[in-house]
Amino acid sequence: MANQDQADYWNRRSISWDEEATKAEPVIGPFGQMAMEALRLRVGERVLDIGCGTGVTTRMLADALHPSGHAHGVDISSAMIDIARERVFHGGASFEVADAQVAAVEGAPFDAAFSRFGVMFFSDPEAAFANIRRSLLPGGRLGFACWQDLSLNDWIGLPATAVYGLLPEGTAPAPVAGEPGPFSMADAEGIYEMLQGAGYSLVRVEPIEHSVELPVELVDAVVEFGCGSGLVRDALRDASPDVVERAVGAIREAIEDCVVEIEPEPAAEGEEPGPPARVLRLSAAAHIVTARA
Protein backbone atom coordinates (compact mmCIF):
# COMPACT_ATOMS: atom_id res chain seq x y z
CA MET A 1 0.00 0.00 0.00
CA ALA A 2 1.53 3.31 -1.15
CA ASN A 3 -0.39 5.49 1.32
CA GLN A 4 -0.17 3.54 4.58
CA ASP A 5 0.11 6.70 6.68
CA GLN A 6 -3.17 7.91 5.23
CA ALA A 7 -4.79 4.53 5.87
CA ASP A 8 -3.70 4.65 9.52
CA TYR A 9 -4.88 8.25 9.90
CA TRP A 10 -8.34 7.67 8.44
CA ASN A 11 -8.81 4.44 10.35
CA ARG A 12 -8.19 6.38 13.57
CA ARG A 13 -10.57 9.14 12.47
CA SER A 14 -13.34 7.00 10.97
CA ILE A 15 -15.91 7.61 13.73
CA SER A 16 -15.15 11.30 14.22
CA TRP A 17 -15.03 11.91 10.46
CA ASP A 18 -18.38 10.17 9.99
CA GLU A 19 -19.87 12.66 12.47
CA GLU A 20 -18.04 15.64 10.93
CA ALA A 21 -19.10 14.75 7.39
CA THR A 22 -22.75 14.61 8.45
CA LYS A 23 -22.48 18.11 9.95
CA ALA A 24 -20.62 19.39 6.87
CA GLU A 25 -23.17 18.05 4.38
CA PRO A 26 -24.70 21.52 3.72
CA VAL A 27 -21.24 22.62 2.56
CA ILE A 28 -19.87 19.56 0.77
CA GLY A 29 -23.15 18.22 -0.62
CA PRO A 30 -23.77 20.83 -3.35
CA PHE A 31 -20.23 20.46 -4.73
CA GLY A 32 -20.56 16.68 -4.87
CA GLN A 33 -23.87 17.02 -6.68
CA MET A 34 -22.26 19.35 -9.25
CA ALA A 35 -19.45 16.86 -9.89
CA MET A 36 -21.95 14.04 -10.25
CA GLU A 37 -24.06 16.05 -12.69
CA ALA A 38 -20.94 16.93 -14.70
CA LEU A 39 -20.41 13.20 -15.36
CA ARG A 40 -23.81 12.96 -17.12
CA LEU A 41 -24.44 9.52 -15.66
CA ARG A 42 -26.69 7.13 -17.52
CA VAL A 43 -28.80 4.28 -16.16
CA GLY A 44 -26.97 1.00 -16.54
CA GLU A 45 -23.45 2.40 -16.28
CA ARG A 46 -20.80 1.17 -13.86
CA VAL A 47 -19.09 3.87 -11.82
CA LEU A 48 -16.09 3.85 -9.48
CA ASP A 49 -16.41 6.02 -6.34
CA ILE A 50 -12.92 6.98 -5.15
CA GLY A 51 -12.40 7.77 -1.47
CA CYS A 52 -16.01 6.81 -0.78
CA GLY A 53 -15.67 7.03 3.01
CA THR A 54 -18.75 5.65 4.72
CA GLY A 55 -20.67 5.19 1.47
CA VAL A 56 -22.89 8.27 1.25
CA THR A 57 -21.89 9.11 -2.32
CA THR A 58 -21.77 5.48 -3.41
CA ARG A 59 -25.42 5.14 -2.50
CA MET A 60 -26.23 8.35 -4.39
CA LEU A 61 -24.45 6.99 -7.45
CA ALA A 62 -26.21 3.64 -7.16
CA ASP A 63 -29.58 5.42 -7.02
CA ALA A 64 -28.70 7.42 -10.14
CA LEU A 65 -27.64 4.26 -12.03
CA HIS A 66 -30.59 2.12 -10.89
CA PRO A 67 -31.92 -0.37 -11.87
CA SER A 68 -29.28 -1.92 -14.11
CA GLY A 69 -26.13 0.03 -13.21
CA HIS A 70 -23.64 -0.37 -10.38
CA ALA A 71 -21.53 1.87 -8.11
CA HIS A 72 -18.34 0.46 -6.58
CA GLY A 73 -16.90 2.43 -3.66
CA VAL A 74 -13.25 2.17 -2.69
CA ASP A 75 -11.50 3.70 0.30
CA ILE A 76 -8.11 3.28 1.90
CA SER A 77 -9.72 3.05 5.36
CA SER A 78 -10.97 -0.40 6.30
CA ALA A 79 -12.86 1.15 9.24
CA MET A 80 -14.83 3.43 6.92
CA ILE A 81 -15.58 0.59 4.51
CA ASP A 82 -16.90 -1.44 7.46
CA ILE A 83 -19.31 1.41 8.25
CA ALA A 84 -20.34 1.67 4.59
CA ARG A 85 -21.09 -2.04 4.37
CA GLU A 86 -23.17 -1.92 7.54
CA ARG A 87 -25.09 1.16 6.46
CA VAL A 88 -25.65 0.93 2.71
CA PHE A 89 -28.08 -1.79 1.69
CA HIS A 90 -28.39 -1.39 -2.06
CA GLY A 91 -28.24 -4.06 -4.73
CA GLY A 92 -26.44 -1.65 -7.02
CA ALA A 93 -23.61 -0.79 -4.61
CA SER A 94 -20.48 -2.61 -3.46
CA PHE A 95 -17.39 -1.67 -1.47
CA GLU A 96 -13.71 -2.51 -1.38
CA VAL A 97 -10.74 -1.56 0.82
CA ALA A 98 -8.18 -0.35 -1.71
CA ASP A 99 -5.47 2.24 -2.25
CA ALA A 100 -6.59 3.78 -5.54
CA GLN A 101 -3.03 4.94 -6.21
CA VAL A 102 -1.77 1.40 -6.82
CA ALA A 103 -4.64 -1.11 -6.58
CA ALA A 104 -6.15 -3.06 -9.46
CA VAL A 105 -9.73 -2.30 -8.45
CA GLU A 106 -12.27 -5.10 -8.50
CA GLY A 107 -14.79 -4.97 -11.33
CA ALA A 108 -12.76 -2.77 -13.69
CA PRO A 109 -13.12 -1.39 -16.30
CA PHE A 110 -15.73 1.24 -15.39
CA ASP A 111 -17.63 3.74 -17.50
CA ALA A 112 -16.75 6.59 -15.15
CA ALA A 113 -14.88 7.47 -11.95
CA PHE A 114 -16.18 9.94 -9.39
CA SER A 115 -14.98 11.45 -6.14
CA ARG A 116 -16.35 13.96 -3.66
CA PHE A 117 -13.29 15.36 -1.88
CA GLY A 118 -11.58 11.97 -1.78
CA VAL A 119 -8.63 12.48 -4.14
CA MET A 120 -6.48 15.07 -2.34
CA PHE A 121 -4.55 12.65 -0.13
CA PHE A 122 -2.39 10.65 -2.56
CA SER A 123 1.37 10.66 -1.98
CA ASP A 124 1.85 10.66 -5.78
CA PRO A 125 -1.27 12.19 -7.40
CA GLU A 126 -0.12 11.76 -10.99
CA ALA A 127 0.60 8.06 -10.44
CA ALA A 128 -2.74 7.69 -8.65
CA PHE A 129 -4.74 9.23 -11.47
CA ALA A 130 -2.83 7.20 -14.05
CA ASN A 131 -3.85 4.09 -12.12
CA ILE A 132 -7.46 5.28 -11.95
CA ARG A 133 -7.37 5.86 -15.73
CA ARG A 134 -6.38 2.23 -16.19
CA SER A 135 -9.57 1.22 -14.37
CA LEU A 136 -11.70 3.09 -16.94
CA LEU A 137 -12.90 2.05 -20.36
CA PRO A 138 -11.24 3.89 -23.27
CA GLY A 139 -12.83 7.33 -23.32
CA GLY A 140 -14.22 6.81 -19.82
CA ARG A 141 -15.16 9.90 -17.83
CA LEU A 142 -13.56 11.30 -14.71
CA GLY A 143 -15.35 13.77 -12.46
CA PHE A 144 -14.49 15.00 -8.99
CA ALA A 145 -14.71 17.87 -6.53
CA CYS A 146 -11.66 19.18 -4.65
CA TRP A 147 -11.19 22.22 -2.45
CA GLN A 148 -9.88 25.56 -3.60
CA ASP A 149 -7.57 27.54 -1.28
CA LEU A 150 -8.14 27.48 2.47
CA SER A 151 -8.61 31.27 2.46
CA LEU A 152 -11.74 30.87 0.29
CA ASN A 153 -13.36 28.37 2.64
CA ASP A 154 -14.61 30.17 5.77
CA TRP A 155 -16.34 27.04 7.07
CA ILE A 156 -12.98 25.40 7.79
CA GLY A 157 -10.49 28.20 7.10
CA LEU A 158 -11.72 30.60 9.80
CA PRO A 159 -11.32 28.10 12.68
CA ALA A 160 -7.90 27.00 11.42
CA THR A 161 -6.63 30.55 10.88
CA ALA A 162 -7.91 31.62 14.31
CA VAL A 163 -5.92 28.82 15.93
CA TYR A 164 -2.81 29.33 13.84
CA GLY A 165 -2.69 32.93 15.09
CA LEU A 166 -2.28 31.69 18.67
CA LEU A 167 0.67 29.38 17.97
CA PRO A 168 4.35 30.36 17.92
CA GLU A 169 5.47 31.54 14.50
CA GLY A 170 6.47 28.67 12.25
CA THR A 171 4.76 25.95 14.29
CA ALA A 172 1.27 26.02 12.72
CA PRO A 173 0.76 23.02 10.38
CA ALA A 174 -0.70 25.13 7.57
CA PRO A 175 -1.58 23.28 4.33
CA VAL A 176 1.28 23.02 1.85
CA ALA A 177 0.46 22.99 -1.87
CA GLY A 178 1.20 19.58 -3.35
CA GLU A 179 1.43 17.81 -0.01
CA PRO A 180 -1.31 15.27 0.80
CA GLY A 181 -4.18 17.06 2.53
CA PRO A 182 -7.58 18.62 1.91
CA PHE A 183 -6.14 21.64 0.05
CA SER A 184 -3.39 19.89 -1.91
CA MET A 185 -5.24 20.43 -5.22
CA ALA A 186 -6.19 24.07 -4.70
CA ASP A 187 -4.13 25.20 -7.71
CA ALA A 188 -6.15 24.82 -10.92
CA GLU A 189 -3.09 24.91 -13.19
CA GLY A 190 -1.54 22.13 -11.13
CA ILE A 191 -4.64 19.99 -11.69
CA TYR A 192 -4.38 20.47 -15.47
CA GLU A 193 -0.71 19.49 -15.51
CA MET A 194 -1.21 16.52 -13.22
CA LEU A 195 -4.14 15.02 -15.15
CA GLN A 196 -2.50 15.57 -18.54
CA GLY A 197 0.64 13.91 -17.18
CA ALA A 198 -1.52 10.98 -16.06
CA GLY A 199 -2.80 10.52 -19.63
CA TYR A 200 -6.18 12.29 -19.56
CA SER A 201 -7.60 14.54 -22.26
CA LEU A 202 -10.33 17.19 -22.35
CA VAL A 203 -9.42 18.31 -18.84
CA ARG A 204 -11.75 20.98 -17.48
CA VAL A 205 -11.41 22.72 -14.09
CA GLU A 206 -14.35 24.89 -13.08
CA PRO A 207 -13.88 26.99 -9.93
CA ILE A 208 -17.12 27.30 -7.98
CA GLU A 209 -17.76 29.56 -5.00
CA HIS A 210 -20.94 29.84 -2.97
CA SER A 211 -22.12 31.04 0.40
CA VAL A 212 -23.72 28.74 2.90
CA GLU A 213 -26.40 30.42 5.02
CA LEU A 214 -27.27 28.70 8.28
CA PRO A 215 -29.69 29.68 11.05
CA VAL A 216 -27.94 31.78 13.66
CA GLU A 217 -28.98 29.18 16.23
CA LEU A 218 -26.35 26.88 14.70
CA VAL A 219 -23.40 29.07 15.70
CA ASP A 220 -22.60 26.75 18.63
CA ALA A 221 -22.70 23.70 16.35
CA VAL A 222 -20.40 25.36 13.81
CA VAL A 223 -17.95 26.33 16.56
CA GLU A 224 -17.99 22.74 17.80
CA PHE A 225 -17.40 21.49 14.26
CA GLY A 226 -14.48 23.89 13.82
CA CYS A 227 -12.91 22.80 17.11
CA GLY A 228 -13.12 19.17 16.02
CA SER A 229 -11.88 19.59 12.46
CA GLY A 230 -8.70 17.83 11.42
CA LEU A 231 -6.73 21.04 10.80
CA VAL A 232 -7.55 22.40 14.27
CA ARG A 233 -7.03 19.06 16.03
CA ASP A 234 -3.62 18.67 14.41
CA ALA A 235 -2.64 22.24 15.31
CA LEU A 236 -3.60 21.83 18.97
CA ARG A 237 -2.30 18.29 19.46
CA ASP A 238 0.56 19.41 21.74
CA ALA A 239 -0.98 22.66 22.99
CA SER A 240 -1.42 23.49 26.66
CA PRO A 241 -4.93 23.62 28.19
CA ASP A 242 -4.64 27.42 28.29
CA VAL A 243 -3.93 27.63 24.55
CA VAL A 244 -6.80 25.21 23.81
CA GLU A 245 -9.19 27.38 25.82
CA ARG A 246 -8.04 30.52 24.03
CA ALA A 247 -8.38 28.70 20.69
CA VAL A 248 -12.03 27.86 21.36
CA GLY A 249 -12.68 31.52 22.16
CA ALA A 250 -10.88 32.66 19.00
CA ILE A 251 -12.87 30.22 16.86
CA ARG A 252 -16.14 31.43 18.37
CA GLU A 253 -15.23 35.07 17.74
CA ALA A 254 -14.31 34.34 14.11
CA ILE A 255 -17.56 32.46 13.48
CA GLU A 256 -19.75 35.04 15.23
CA ASP A 257 -18.21 37.73 13.01
CA CYS A 258 -19.90 35.97 10.07
CA VAL A 259 -23.42 36.55 11.42
CA VAL A 260 -25.21 38.98 9.10
CA GLU A 261 -28.68 40.46 8.73
CA ILE A 262 -30.69 39.79 5.58
CA GLU A 263 -33.74 41.67 4.46
CA PRO A 264 -37.07 39.92 4.91
CA GLU A 265 -39.20 38.76 2.00
CA PRO A 266 -41.45 41.54 0.62
CA ALA A 267 -44.65 41.78 2.65
CA ALA A 268 -48.00 41.05 1.09
CA GLU A 269 -50.14 44.06 0.27
CA GLY A 270 -51.55 45.58 3.43
CA GLU A 271 -49.10 43.77 5.73
CA GLU A 272 -46.12 45.14 7.64
CA PRO A 273 -42.71 43.77 6.59
CA GLY A 274 -41.09 41.47 9.11
CA PRO A 275 -37.82 42.22 10.88
CA PRO A 276 -34.47 41.42 9.22
CA ALA A 277 -33.35 37.83 9.75
CA ARG A 278 -29.95 36.99 11.24
CA VAL A 279 -28.04 34.17 9.55
CA LEU A 280 -24.56 32.70 9.69
CA ARG A 281 -23.00 33.18 6.24
CA LEU A 282 -19.86 31.19 5.41
CA SER A 283 -17.97 30.98 2.13
CA ALA A 284 -17.07 27.70 0.43
CA ALA A 285 -15.05 27.18 -2.76
CA ALA A 286 -14.16 24.08 -4.75
CA HIS A 287 -13.02 22.98 -8.19
CA ILE A 288 -15.33 20.77 -10.25
CA VAL A 289 -12.98 18.76 -12.45
CA THR A 290 -13.81 16.60 -15.47
CA ALA A 291 -11.62 14.72 -17.95
CA ARG A 292 -11.56 11.79 -20.37
CA ALA A 293 -9.42 8.67 -20.13
Q: What is the per-residue pLDDT across 175-207, written as a single tens digit (0 to 9) for each? A: 666 788 999 999 999 999 999 999 999 999 999
pLDDT surpassing 80 at residue 171: no
Region label for 117, one of left (φ > 0), alpha (ψ between -120 and 50) or beta (otherwise): left
What CATH architecture applies to the domain 4-150+174-210+286-292? Answer: 3-Layer(aba) Sandwich (3.40)
Per-residue pLDDT of 52-70, as tens digits, reads 999 999 999 999 999 999 9
In this prediction, residue 105 carries a pLDDT of 96
Selection from 218, 212, 109 nearest residue 153 by Cα: 212
91-92-93 Cα angle (round to 5): 95
Alpha carbon distance 85, 159 (integer Å): 33
Per-residue pLDDT of 217-263, as tens digits, reads 999 999 999 998 888 988 898 889 999 999 999 999 999 999 999 87
- Please report which confidence band the pLDDT of residue 271 belongs to, taking 50, 70 and 90 as the band edges: confident
In this prediction, residue 136 carries a pLDDT of 98
Q: Where exactly are the structural domains of the chain?
A: 4-150+174-210+286-292
Per-residue pLDDT of 65-118, as tens digits, reads 999 999 999 999 999 999 999 999 889 999 999 999 999 999 999 999 999 999
